[in-house]
Amino acid sequence: METIAVATQNKRVGKTSSTVNLGAALALAGQRVLVVDLDPQAQAGTALGRHLSGGDQRARSLGWAIQCRLQGVRPDVSEFWFDRSELVAGFGGAGSLHLLACEESTMNAVREVIHRKGYCATPVLRRMLAEVASDFDFTLIDTPSAVPSLSATAFAAADGVITVCVPEYASLKGAAVTRAAVRHVKDRTGGECDPRYLGAIVNRSHPPSAREGQEVDFREAMRDAGLDPFPADIRLDRRIGDSFALGVPAAIRFAEQAPGRMYGNLLGQVLARMRRCREGQGVPVRTGE
């Protein structure tokens, strides 16, 4: 199983939509996929049509499972995930799509415990996922913005980390902070965790014919900042946001149209960079994929 975390310090740049749509594209390609929602706002669960509202449902939340693990109890992770494979059932050759869903109060409690315990606690999710590695081909982790303890937990669980920018210079700083944080994970976890930074998604861009000089300059600024943007970007498309609200990723709803093609192209480049990392060639990749 390979694990990818999608993270940034900036809000409202499309981190969750990137996570669930890449996961959906993988499932459509025949892979067994697990989406992990580490954000207390539970947006990935909403985007996949499964929202935990508290009460008895807290006992099925990822936050509850992590709390148990941090207290020395080893819960069966498979009892916590939700099967969302129905979303891809109508596609020939599709794989499976599962969700470890979040709930605000339990995940906030996890955040506080990990904050108190420090970096020694951040591999907790990695160890839990290792127990179900044979059940999935890929895991995609959605992370909260500006919650260091939970972001660190996601980085520790990941093999590769992707960040997300929109074509505005304000988003560069948050992406750069994410890349810098990934570099320190190996030392801070005593060598147990060693994620690789894979690159940055340019989200909500305009098509080439409508781009202004600022967007072209923005990509160059990303390269200068060492963010290594993927050549394939995700263009501004209202169907992506509308699909989020309906609980079905745009990569599934519009699999044969622009949203599906965009995420499919991006996925191919993400996997190519992961392969290069496995082979020791590393990132960045400046020209083409």
d(CA 155, CA 278): 17
Average pLDDT over all residues of the chain: 92
Give yes or no for residue 214 having a pLDDT over 80: no
Mean pLDDT score, 142-156: 93
Query: Which residues, including other chains, have CB under 8 Å from residue 191's CB and lie 6 or more apart?
Result: none
- Long-range contacts for 263-268 (Cβ within 8 Å, ≥24 apart)? 263/21, 263/22, 263/24, 263/25, 263/234, 264/25, 264/28, 264/29, 265/232, 266/22, 266/25, 266/201, 266/230, 266/232, 266/233, 266/234, 267/22, 267/25, 267/26, 267/29, 268/232
Predicted pLDDT at 272:
96
pLDDT tens digits along 239-260: 999 998 899 999 999 999 999 9
Tokens of 203: 């989200």
Which residue in 10, 289, 23 sits closest to 163, CA to CA? 10
Query: Which residues, including other chains, have CB under 8 Å from residue 263's CB and lie 6 or more apart?
Result: 21, 22, 24, 25, 234, 250, 251
Residue 288 lies in a domain: no
d(CA 115, CA 118): 5
Give yes or no for residue 222 having a pLDDT over 90: yes
Give the domain CATH number at 35: 3.40.50.300
Detail the DSSP E strand segments found in 76-142: 81-83, 96-100, 138-142
Predicted pLDDT at 279:
81
Residue 54 lies in a domain: yes
Residue 286 lies in a domain: no
**pLDDT class for 138, splitting at 50, 70, 90?**
very high
Residue 71 lies in a domain: yes
Residue 287 lies in a domain: no
Distances (CA, A) of 81 to 75, 171, 229: 12, 32, 32
| Cis preceding linkage at 148, omega within 30 | no
Give yes or no for residue 80 having a pLDDT over 70: yes
pLDDT tens digits along 29-58: 999 999 999 999 999 999 999 988 766 678
| Domain span holding position 220 | 2-278
Mean pLDDT score, 73-102: 95
Residue 124 lies in a domain: yes
Predicted pLDDT at 122:
96
Residue 31 lies in a domain: yes
The full length of the chain comes to 289
Mean pLDDT score, 117-123: 94
Give yes or no for residue 282 having a pLDDT over 70: no
For residue 77, which phi and psi values (nearest 5 degrees)? -60, -35
Kindly list the strands in the beta sheet with 2-6, ordered across the sheet, starting from the edge strand earlier in the chain. Answer: 81-83, 96-100, 32-37, 138-142, 2-6, 160-165, 196-205, 234-235
Predicted pLDDT at 55:
65
Mean pLDDT score, 252-279: 95
Neighbour tally for 82: CB within 10 Å: 17
Distances (CA, A) of 111 to 104, 142, 155, 201: 10, 15, 14, 26
Mean pLDDT score, 167-192: 93
Residue 284 lies in a domain: no
Radius of gyration of the chain (CA): 18
Predicted pLDDT at 184:
94
Count: domains in the chain? 1
Place of tokens 């989020």: 244
Predicted pLDDT at 64:
94
Mean pLDDT score, 126-138: 97
